[in-house]
């Protein structure tokens, strides 16, 4: 009975996630629900589904044209150094100046710690780090 409840909870959450979410979040929610169900039962399935959805909500990489544009731009004369690591999905500090991409205002860029970084201009959230 317990296993049936576990599996049905995981499937229900997986189905809900499929209808409510898209892309990486679906995979994250389903995987998190199943893992949570195995570890913590129905409550674990619910918690795992939510955590998996958040972790699975992968940021889509910018279009190739944006990356090419950012790679071609000269580095700013004053280097920006921050102590925190640059992580995709995490915002840069608000005081870091970003430069909008003219052809695609959904993106901006900056050079931080000698790395070109593409960000969402409104949130400063890192979309891609160009190596």
- 75 with 51, same domain: the answer is no
Domain end position, chosen among 56, 79, 94: 56
Tally of domains in the chain = 2
- 8 A C-beta contact, residue 48 and residue 32: yes
Dihedral of CA 100/101/105/110: which sign?
negative
Question: What pLDDT is stored for residue 131 in this prediction?
Answer: 83
Residues 6+ apart with CB under 8 A from 31: 52, 56
Residues 24-51 have a mean pLDDT of 54
- 92 with 51, same domain: the answer is no
pLDDT band at 60 (very low <50, low <70, confident <90, very high): confident
* DSSP codes, 77-120: SS-B--SS---TTSBPPTTS--EE-TT-TT-EEEEETTEEEEE-
Gap between the terminal Cα atoms of the chain = 52
- 41 with 75, same domain: the answer is no
For residue 86, give its domain range: 64-130
In whole angstroms, what is the distance from residue 124 CA to residue 131 CA? 19
Res. 9: pLDDT tops 70:
no
- 90 with 125, same domain: the answer is yes
pLDDT band at 43 (very low <50, low <70, confident <90, very high): low
| pTM for the whole structure | 0.57
Q: What is the pLDDT of residues 84-128, one digit of tens each?
A: 999 999 999 999 999 999 999 999 999 999 999 999 999 999 999
């Amino acid at each position: 009975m317990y296993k049936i409840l576990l599996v049905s909870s995981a499937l229900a959450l997986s189905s809900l996630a499929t209808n409510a979410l898209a892309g990486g979040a679906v995979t994250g929610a389903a995987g998190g629900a199943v893992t949570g169900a195995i570890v913590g039962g129905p409550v674990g399935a619910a918690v795992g589904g939510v955590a998996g959805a958040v972790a699975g909500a992968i940021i889509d990489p910018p279009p190739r044209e944006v990356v090419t544009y950012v790679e071609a731009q000269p580095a700013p004369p004053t280097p920006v150094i921050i102590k925190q690591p640059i992580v995709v999905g995490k915002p840069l500090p608000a005081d870091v100046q970003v430069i909008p991409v003219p052809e695609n205002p959904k993106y901006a860029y900056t050079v931080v710690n000698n790395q070109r970084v593409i960000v969402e201009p409104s949130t400063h959230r890192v979309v891609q780090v160009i190596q």
